[in-house]
Amino acid sequence: MSVLTMLNKKSIRVTDIASQYWCERQMELRYLYGDKKKTVEEKKGTLLHEMLENETNVPVLLEPKSYADYMYKTLYTSSIALSALKENGRTREVQVFGRMEGFNLVGKIDQLNFRNEVVTVEEDKTRANDNLPNAAQMLPNKIQVMFYRSMLEDIQNGTYTLEDFRKAYYTERLVLTDEFRRQLAAMHIEQSKHSMQYVEKEFFSKVKSMGEIGDTLYIKYINQFTEDTIKIYKFQYSRAELEKSKEFVFKYWKGIRKALPVPKEEKWKCNYCVFFGKQCKVWWGQKTIS
């Protein structure tokens, strides 16, 4: 059985890849046993992301009734967001698709900005206090942003094409529901645009034409209670580092190795894991978790 089948997945989220750098075993257990309920802090973080999106993007009030409707709304919303990038110099919540090492990848970019005449990929991370993240906490964030940047570049240079997307998500077979079409008409969207073929071409065209993607990447750390910026961390995109990361993460997805627990020096992470002492007992029994 493949890892994707075991986890009941058809594609890999970029957040899954980032989670492999926090605790790969925890990421796997979440799929096997169900994700934990959101904490108060996580709920506040979600609300803050929604508030930031509403500052830059026009809300798309569509209610999908089927998988086809959902895919249309996803691409349409991201296309509108990319139009906002051209008009306002920044935008938020842009879906991105890709394929690496034979696996379909999907993710949602927090923010794209025009800085110094290039498009920059940026990620917001909320924290419960003003303390800066340590290296172990920051690494998953860096990996996530690098993968997003690479996926956008793959669309722009033709490494990942519209045909690749169609094969991955079977969009050529998809037909919108009549109810969803009525919603599109109510929003004064032209009837000629009421199809997956239109919206997927529009999305790919806008990614290709959005401008050169910069190599400086940004992570903004925000206090989720005060909504103040703690620090904006910037770093350089490294293709060599990305290739090294791909070699590591895809060995798991290919089934070459089992999911790794955190190393001993990072067993303090177990304090924040709902599976600790239950489905995972790698460091259970340790008297002190540093």
For 106-118, how does the pLDDT look when each residue is reduced to its tens digit (9 = 90+)? 999 999 999 989 9
**Mean pLDDT, the chain, whole residue set:** 91
- Per-residue pLDDT, averaged over 52-65, amounts to 67
Helix axes 196-209, 162-169, angle to 10 degrees: 140
Confidence band (pLDDT; 50, 70, 90) for 36?
Answer: low
pLDDT band at 224 (very low <50, low <70, confident <90, very high): confident
Residue (of 144, 107, 148, 112) closest to 125 by Cα position: 144
Q: The tokens of 179 are what?
A: 């109810």
pLDDT higher than threshold 70 for residue 57: no
Domain limits of the chain? 40-259
Per-residue model confidence (pLDDT) at position 175: 96
Q: Please give the share of the chain, as a percent, with pLDDT higher than 90.
A: 83
Which pLDDT band holds residue 61 (cuts at 50, 70, 90)? confident
Instruction: Tell me which residue of 144, 31, 147 sits closest to 98, measured CA to CA.
Output: 147
Q: Under a CB-based contact definition with an 8 Å cutoff, are residues 78 and 95 in contact?
A: yes
The residues near 197 (Cβ < 8 Å, ≥ 6 apart) are: 171, 172
Are 165 and 154 spatial neighbours (Cβ–Cβ below 8 Å)? Answer: no
Helix (H) or strand (E) holding 279: none
- Residue 64 dihedral angles phi and psi, to the nearest 5°: -60, 145
The 10s digit of each residue's pLDDT in 187-203 is 999 999 999 999 999 99
- pLDDT score, position 147: 98
Q: Which tokens is 258 given? A: 């089992």
pLDDT, tens only, 247-283: 999 999 999 999 999 999 999 999 989 999 999 999 9
Residue 34 pLDDT more than 90?
no
Q: How far is residue 29's CA from residue 102's CA, in Å, rounded to a whole number?
A: 23
d(CA 179, CA 139): 44
pLDDT attached to residue 180 = 96
